[in-house]
Amino acid sequence: MPHYITFANEKGGTGKSTTAVHTAVALAAQGRKVAAIDLDTRQRTLGRYLDNRAATARRTGMELPMPVYATFDPGKDASIDDVIERIGRDADIIVIDTPGRDDPHSRAAMVRADTLVTPINDSFVDLDLIGEVDAETYRVRKPSFYAELVWNSRTQRAKTHGASVDWVVLRNRMQHIEARNMRRVGDALAELSRRVGFRIIPGLGERVIYRELFPKGLTLLDLRAIEDAAISHVAARQELREMIAGLALPEPAGEAAPARPAAMAG
């Protein structure tokens, strides 16, 4: 059975699709058989990013690590099961990027998740998605609707598949906020994680380079293909490596840990 990684967040602008793309490419670079599915039929950020990557590989002749991928089309696919059957039958990792809204397809992807990833910007605005915080004490008053939605999805998965869900909250853009506010957000997240049951790991920083890489579909693992790569690219690549390690994904069954390819080398 493939391991499902679902990226879900009902709030936009958290770096969800960028994180999903980099995760899919990083795992493909490790030699995993990766399928990536974009459920955001409107924006298609993941799908367009990988379209650009495939075009760059054809144009330049470079060998770029690449997952197989598809964008969910309600006109062709009745459900995400149809997409998975079409492109994911041989995959050992399936990455699903959901839209920034609640819909039946997003909920179906959340129920499938072995690893559920919720990227948030490191702010109380984004924290409010998961839990309500007291304005005076900054203590968590209660979980939010989204936390309850995740809880229901995890319960449903346990009943139907007999499997648990590893819920991971990514703290994106941490280095660009004021230190006292960072501590308050961190304390509230830690309290909420104990109550609701998720892990917290550092995500990706706020960097212009992510937006610059999109037109060519390149990632931070493609430094040799990036013109004028700088120290900031190397630092961001290290963030990506730490994030992938933090996901703590299982190794392929019956195999040793995959060797780190040249694309991942320091």
Confidence of residue 185 (pLDDT cuts 50, 70, 90): confident
Residue 208: per-residue pLDDT: 75
Residue 19: per-residue pLDDT: 94
In eight-state DSSP terms, residue 226 is: S
Residue 15: per-residue pLDDT: 83
Residue 177: per-residue pLDDT: 56
Residue 265: per-residue pLDDT: 32
| Nearest-angstrom CA–CA distance, 206 and 187 | 21
Mean pLDDT, the chain, integer: 86
Domain-wise residue ranges, the chain: 3-264
* Exposed/middle/buried for residue 182 (C-beta within 10 Å: 0-12, 13-18, 19+): middle
pLDDT digits (tens, 9 = 90+) for 48-102: 999 999 999 999 999 999 999 999 988 787 888 889 888 988 999 999 999 988 8
* Exposed/middle/buried for residue 89 (C-beta within 10 Å: 0-12, 13-18, 19+): exposed
For domain 3-264, which architecture applies? 3-Layer(aba) Sandwich (3.40)
Average pLDDT over residues 108-136: 87
| Nearest-angstrom CA–CA distance, 163 and 167 | 13
Between residues 47 and 140, the one the model is more confident about: 47
Other CB atoms within a 10 A radius of the CB of residue 11 amount to 17
pLDDT digits (tens, 9 = 90+) for 220-263: 899 888 877 788 888 889 989 999 999 999 987 655 444 433 33
